[in-house]
Chain A
């Protein structure tokens, strides 16, 4: 399997070249274009089958597409919002990823959900984060560019702008005490990270984009 990414950081599209019989998993709806020799099947990836999980995600299951090459072929995928695609090769370590940032992975990567018990977190993507571990390729996608921040001590991130972070980091979620946060669910919530590790932050987010659009909406 070979992965190339075009268009970073503005509007990235990842192209995965598959040998015969090879497969990968991608977020549903991500496919942009592909060779006809690649077949798509629905897959529920690890740990999402409980009704609680489905309910918390607003009734939607975390359905992925499993792309398998019947003959050598290529599949291109992209996120809903334009931005950056990050390719992480996992080699035993684990990474915490917000649900909206997950784009694709090779089949050997383990993906499991962690919940917070908060609703409307992470730019409306729900209360889930994903823990990705194992050995393989992981593709993450953002809205906007992604900036790597090395945390040494303390660092606060607006929840909508968090993409992924090292599982070694601790964090607390709190309100900013902002009037606005009481009017707009999910806004004004921040993550206070502590410890040592990397946080990946995106420079735009869906909730902020939606909020910006509101005054222009009529009717």
Chain B
């Protein structure tokens, strides 16, 4: 497998060349172009119905791409503009759910709500990746990998991924751009481990777009 992350950091695209018979497991919607690959889709893990309930109806579609006899090529991109990170996983990683792009077959994915219970069940809806192999994930905006040794405070909407060796708790509720469904939660991460911070906030964008959404016609 060879890969390159092009058009970084604004509109990063992961271009991958797979050798004959090689596979990559990707989120269902990331394929932009491909040649000489076959695709099969399934729902993640077999824990589908429980997860659907826990996270309000969302579940993960994973597509496995397998290269043909001459090898194959695929370009993969997330829905949001921003950077793609490649990470050599050896153990566990928590990943913001919308960030997952693809991984090698040896990595398993488990959708889990990493909530801060007691604060209206808000928190980080994350994917736990476990295993050994390459993992690729996307950030909304540019991304900075910070090796924490002590503490740092980060807005919850700006956290892309973090290592389980880091603990976190609510630090502040800061002021917000408007009061629609604002989060404004600043989380204090402490311990030793790596956290990936993105420079834009999808929750703030969704808040901005709220008035432009169609209005429900039936309010019963």
Contact = CB atoms under 8 A, between A and B. Distances in A.
B79 A212 contact: yes
Contacts of A210: 79
Contact of A158 (B33, B81, B180, B213): B33
Nearest to B32: A161
B58 interface: yes
Nearest to B180: A219
B210 A217 contact: yes
Interface in B83-132: 97-98, 125
B219 to A, nearest CB: 12
Interface in B4-36: 6-7, 10-13, 28-29, 31-36
Contacts of A9: 7, 10-11
Contacts of B35: 154-156
B10 A208 contact: no
Nearest to B213: A217
B202 A208 contact: no
Interface string B151-186: 000000000000000000000000000001100000
A177 interface: yes
A180 B28 contact: yes
Contacts of B36: 154
A145 B7 contact: yes
Interface majority SS on B: helix, strand, loop or mixed? mixed
A156 B75 CA distance: 10
Contacts of A83: 11
B37 to A, nearest CB: 8
B11 A215 contact: no
Interface in B180-220: 180-181, 202-203, 205-206, 209-210, 213
A208 B29 contact: yes
Interface range, A side: 35 or more
Given A156-B35, A177-B41, A219-B181, A211 B77 contact: no
Interface in A151-185: 154-158, 161, 176-180
A210 B36 CA distance: 29
A218 B81 contact: no
A201 B33 contact: yes
A187 B97 CA distance: 20
B80 interface: yes
B63 interface: yes
Contacts of B203: 216
B3 interface: no
A158 B34 CA distance: 9
A147 B32 CA distance: 11
B1 interface: no
14 contacts: A145-B6, A145-B13, A149-B33, A156-B34, A180-B28, A201-B32, A201-B33, A204-B11, A204-B79, A204-B80, A212-B80, A212-B98, A212-B202, A216-B203
Interface of A: 9-10, 82-83, 144-145, 147, 149, 154-158, 161, 176-180, 187-188, 190, 201, 203-204, 208-213, 215-219
